[in-house]
Amino acid sequence: MDLLTMLVQVTLVAAMAALISAQAKPDCQGKCGSISIPYPFGTEAGCYHDPEFLVTCNKTYNPPKLFYSNTSNINVTNISVDGQLYILHYIASNCYDQSGSRTVSNIPSIRLSKFRISSTRNKFTAVGCATRASIVGVKEDRTYGSGCMTICDSLDYVTNGSCSGIGCCQTSIPTGVAQYRVVLDSYFNHSFVWNFSKCSYAFVVEEDKFNFSSNNLSSLQKVEKLPVVLDWAIGNVSCSVAKESPGYACKGNTSCYEVDFGQGYRCNCSEGYRGNPYLTDGDGCQDIDECNDEQTPYPCEENKNFCKNRVGNYTCSCPKGYHGDGRKNGTGCIADRLLVIKIGVGSVIGILVLSVASSSLVWVIRRRRLIQQKAKNFEQNGGTMLQEKLSLLDPSVEAAKIFTIEVLQKATNNFNKKNFVGEGGFGKVYKGVLPQNNMAVAIKRSVVVDQSKFTDEVVALSQINQTNVVKLLGCCLEVEVPLLVYEFITNGTLFHHIHEVPGLSISWEIRLRIAKETAEALSYLHSKGIIHGDVKSTNILLHDGFTAKVSDFGASRIGPSNEKQLQTMIQGTLGYLDPEYHQTSQLSKKSDIYSFGVVLVELLTGRIAICSDKPEKERILSNYFISSMNKNRLILDHRIGKEDDDEQVGEVATLALHCLKLKGDERPAMSEVATKLEELMRKGKNLLTSPEVNPTEPELLPGKSLDGSSTSSTVGYDSPSNQAKVPL
């Protein structure tokens, strides 16, 4: 048999197998154009499992097009009985004229009842040179938001095939998302980039179906839809519950398994069977003739004369003089004892000696390679240089330790997923217990490290000894990307306690203390020439007694204490990012102060920094807060008690307003912010002994500026639920 004939036969067998698994219910439409419609999907009543699997074949197109349900905007391109629905969906776009005015806007959304956007097969992608894109979705009746931004002032810096933020950016989609919509805008006047990027784009796309190039900055205007993958499952109950129900979908010769993206289950053909597991026995999973199946390797050790097919299985026999099951994946055929003695006694000792020698040699080679690789990583990560710098430190300073990878693997049970505690923008964090002293630590596996600055940063951070900064205990340099070891903080993040704990709220007194402690930590860092670079409520950890601890220095920059600004590639988090840093790429201490101002507003309002399901004027918290304050209204978290000092709250709001000044030079220094918060805390304690104000007749108090001078305007409280509006 020649090679061409063999290839044709294999192709035909594979095509037949795909046809069997893509089989429709008997007497039902099995194709729409070239697209197969396998059960549980169908085009009419009686042909689908339930209405969730209704598809419509529109024959007005040539060739006909298949659509999900009765919609005209979800174009189906393929259906897999393994649980995927392949569709085409619209691109979101904003286009501008040469003056920077928006001329065209197309913002699509998708809403599914039971199907889910595949988190493993899709990416959220934005393209443009001044694009800020967010995706707002619903997961288990809860809203989530994510996004990214792109920047480029010339095509010279755009790299084809890279979505790292220059012209293109990407982010993952959480598991179990049932619906989403895209929010898209340009974060500065689009006329600056109009010559080579007239539009901003954002879309969900099947990950391996989009490869960015600089041509996309102009060519995407001609593309209406891109491929997206949906995950589907049967029903919304587990396998054990479904098996007791009359509508159980897994028919004969099948097994049931539960999906990992939400509720529901899927069916598989049992081992030894192939076909569509959702159809009944005669049309569904059918026996595989393993002895003559071209799709799988021949299963027996000997030729086909020793293989016999069984229903759902097969058997192999052995030639004379041998015994066993005859299978390649089993015991195989073993020579009878006497035959072994006659043939192999003389060679056994030699084989054993050769095996032991080979195994020992392989072990030695692997061990040597591992030691060499660890030594290479240690040098590439600046290990020798770091040891020299640490040895020059003041002996009274507890310097960072250099851990071996074996110690950290033992501390985390080899980085077991049970020890995983969280993931930030710069790496994954695991909890561990150091074996030598039983000390709980947090071990960060960074995504990427700037190795040219790494040793300087470790030396600088290890010398930080401030109560409200998470202590860097050391690092491990024997791996490709260094591991950082910090003290372990027990009580989660400030973001969690403000936004995610239902029915529970930290008091105003504790909020004010957290703000004061955070400001003192940042002031201390600034005095050491350290700019944090990513101040936000998720990077403020809370220890026992709600003591604030500033963490996550993945975006930090270290320079001389008198260095005013640092030229950097823009990093940070949407909603907290300093607009001046955004435009100039000049990172300064005043950038931290702006981000801290957003945290102050979170403490006051109980709102998240970006909330895309709010009206447009309320989506970005800092802008909405400034606008409200300019109208003499203060947005206040309704969970802050009425007994709290109105004047104290108002002064914190005024302080936040100063931190959020657009020009960095107009913002206060962090030391001034810390001093002001300390004064307000002392003032609040003194007021605890003052007479109680009648809550039914609120006293009108003059507003205060940052320096304590009176203002003429009156500020009111406006809760997020628009309930009480109390004059301050």
Q: Which residues are designated catalytic?
A: 534
**H/E run at residue 329:** none
Q: Which residue is listed with tokens 């040699």?
A: 361
| 716-718/633-635 β-pairing | parallel
| β-pair partners for 126 | 169, 202
Cβ neighbors of 602 (< 8 A, separation 6 or more) are 494, 495, 498, 537, 608, 609, 621
Length of the chain: 728
Q: CA-to-CA distance for 193 and 235, rounded, in angstroms?
A: 49
Residue 632 burial (CB < 10 Å; 0-12/13-18/19+)? middle
The residue ranges of DSSP E strands in 179-264, in sequence order, are 179-186, 199-206, 225-231, 254-258
Q: CA-to-CA distance for 515 and 719, rounded, in angstroms?
A: 20
| The two structure tokens encoding residue 309 | 């097919």
| 84-90/225-231 β-pairing | antiparallel
Q: CA-to-CA distance for 76 and 67, rounded, in angstroms?
A: 5
| The two structure tokens encoding residue 152 | 């480029």
Nearest in space to 651 (alpha carbons), one of 621, 689, 687: 687
Q: Which residue is listed with tokens 């220890």?
A: 543
∠ CA 246-247-249 to the nearest 5 degrees?
Answer: 125
Q: CA-to-CA distance for 34 and 22, rounded, in angstroms?
A: 12
Nearest in space to 237 (alpha carbons), one of 229, 227, 249, 225: 249
Residue 639 burial (CB < 10 Å; 0-12/13-18/19+)? middle
Half-sphere exposure for 359 (CA within 13 Å, toward CB) = 6
Q: What share of the chain is helix, strand, coil (3-state, %, to 5)?
A: 30, 25, 45
Cβ neighbors of 376 (< 8 A, separation 6 or more) are none
Q: CA-to-CA distance for 90 and 85, rounded, in angstroms?
A: 16
| The two structure tokens encoding residue 63 | 């060739």
* CB 579 within 8 Å of CB 593: no
Cβ neighbors of 532 (< 8 A, separation 6 or more) are 522, 525, 539, 550, 553, 555, 556, 592, 595
* CB 227 within 8 Å of CB 175: no
Q: DSSP letter string over 244-260?
A: TSTT----TTEEEEE-S
C-beta atoms surrounding 671 within 10 Å = 15
Amino acid at 99: S
Cβ neighbors of 96 (< 8 A, separation 6 or more) are 102, 103, 186, 190, 191, 194, 198, 199
Residue 110 backbone dihedrals phi, psi, to 5 degrees: -140, 140
